[in-house]
Amino acid sequence: MAEYFKDRYDAGQRLAKKLAERMGDIANPKDAIVLALPRGGVPVAFEVARTLNLPMDVFLVRKLGVPGQEELAMGAIASGGVVVLNQDVVNYLGISREIIDFVAERERKELQRRDRLYRGLKPAPNIAGHTVVLVDDGLATGSTMRAAVSAVRQQGPSRIVIAVPVAPPSTVMELRTDVDDVVCVLQPEPFEGVGRWYEDFSQTSDDEVRCLLGLSNHNESGCRQAIA
């Protein structure tokens, strides 16, 4: 099997196979729900949910970029307003509380916009007492996923499982201490970034996210995205 993924759908199919092997050890599949981190995690999660016959929804998380160095994450914010900071970055750069609050408020507004865009009037799923499978298209430092885990935990799930196609071994090891299990298809070393392990890593659009959510809820109205 090739040591890369054709695209996010291929990644999702391969991740689903690995999850299927582990689900008996993780939880009763009947009580599980798949939550995708938009946007790139949605095609991956769609294949996971379809293969395992599980419900799927989105869980919104936004990186908090350092002003002027937006690619450098000083933390992340998730649905419910939970903020997780990369304290090492904050301390090293001497980032003030005012700057953190300013960036967090900006990203909070974007979270609200995306929630309306993706979900409309549909309420967020009740995950209390359920196994939550958090899915993204890959992890680098894991800061965004940590924010998602912190926010999900506040809602009282029975178990939290992280499922991703690719991540560096060090990140997988660190996250194992935060959740009940981490399922990862590839753990390459050196890592070189998530996109390195995809033949097609083109950006997932908002329309594709809405389409896949519609398909997962058996509502194909207005969906033109062809799913193989």
Before 188, cis peptide (omega within 30)? no
Q: Which residues pair with 143 in a beta bridge?
A: none
pLDDT tens profile 66-117 = 999 887 889 888 887 788 888 889 999 999 999 999 999 999 999 888 888 9
Strand locations in the chain (E): 32-36, 56-58, 61-66, 69-78, 82-85, 131-135, 159-166, 181-186
In tens, the pLDDT along 3-38 reads: 899 999 999 999 999 998 887 666 566 789 999 999
pLDDT band at 124 (very low <50, low <70, confident <90, very high): confident
* Sequence spans of domains, the chain: 1-219
The tens digit of pLDDT for each residue in 137-196 reads 999 988 889 889 988 998 899 999 999 999 999 999 999 999 999 999 999 999 989 999
Look at residue 84 in the predicted model and tell me its pLDDT: 83
Which CATH entry fits the domain spanning 1-219: 3.40.30.10, 3.40.50.2020, 2.70.160.11, 1.10.1060.10? 3.40.50.2020
Instruction: Give the integer Cα–Cα distance in Å for 38 and 58.
Output: 7
The rounded radius of gyration (Å) of the Cα atoms in the chain is: 17
Asked if the model's pLDDT at residue 221 lies above 50, the reply is: no
Q: According to the model, what pLDDT value does residue 109 have?
A: 92
